[in-house]
């Protein structure tokens, strides 16, 4: 049976939960679209996260990699379009380090586009009643480092692998400590993962429809 790797990230910035991991760990072992899902937690340590991701990929040997991360303040499932080769950390990571204007990978290209059918994912999520959009920026912190590292690995070592990054909102119990911040419950996030896994396994050519932004 084929496998799909779904990753989440450990809590950071003083939080005790991370919605990406709370949802990813719940689908560990499920069979979706004929593939077995394996979940792995990644650290919020920029200097270590690339090797942790590559170790998980080599251990699991997946056909699809969906990396999830927390985006407090966002209101929907944000399917990321592009990863950039820069780390500019607004806050220290969980090792207390705060790299500024450093490359994710020395000598790597400026950017990579996602290796997921991003617009098909958004379309299927919305059709399932789950708020979703294409995002044009994964930031410049740990999540972008994961995203860029994954796409660099695909481009240089395993071009048949499909993968990308998805940002998700706070959980409701987290948003309660951030008045005014939107949230999404873990059941909806789990349903979103199921839709995205099944869609990626099924869709080989992405939709061509509007998913851009004016700013």
Which of the residues are catalytic? 80, 143, 167
Instruction: Identify the H or E element spanning 6.
Output: strand 3-9
Q: Are strands 64-70 and 82-84 parallel, antiparallel or unpaired?
A: unpaired
User: What are the residue ranges of helices labelled H in the chain?
Assistant: 19-24, 46-60, 118-127, 142-156, 172-175, 186-202
Distance between CA atoms of 168 and 120, rounded to whole angstroms?
17
Q: Sheet containing 132-135: which strands, arranged edge to edge?
A: 31-32, 35-42, 3-9, 64-70, 162-168, 77-80, 132-135
């Amino acid at each position: 049976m084929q496998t799909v790797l779904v990753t989440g990230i450990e809590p950071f910035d003083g939080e005790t939960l991370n919605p990406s991991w709370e949802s990813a760990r719940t689908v560990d072992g499920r069979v979706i679209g004929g593939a077995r899902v394996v979940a792995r937690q990644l650290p919020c340590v920029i200097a270590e996260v690339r090797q942790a991701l590559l170790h998980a990929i080599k251990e699991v040997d997946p056909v699809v990699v969906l990396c999830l991360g927390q985006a407090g303040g966002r209101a929907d499932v944000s399917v990321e379009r592009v990863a950039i080769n820069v780390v500019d950390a607004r806050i220290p990571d969980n090792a207390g380090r705060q790299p500024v204007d450093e490359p994710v990978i020395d000598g790597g290209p400026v950017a990579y586009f996602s290796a997921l059918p991003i617009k098909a994912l958004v379309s299927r999520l919305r059709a399932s009643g789950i708020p979703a959009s294409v995002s044009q920026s994964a930031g410049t912190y740990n999540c972008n480092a994961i995203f860029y590292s994954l796409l660099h690995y695909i481009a240089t070592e395993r071009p048949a692998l499909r993968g990308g990054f998805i940002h998700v909102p706070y959980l409701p119990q987290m948003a309660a400590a951030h008045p005014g911040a939107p949230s999404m419950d873990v059941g909806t996030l789990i349903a979103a993962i199921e839709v995205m896994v099944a869609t990626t396994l099924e869709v080989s050519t992405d939709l061509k429809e509007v998913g851009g932004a004016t700013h």
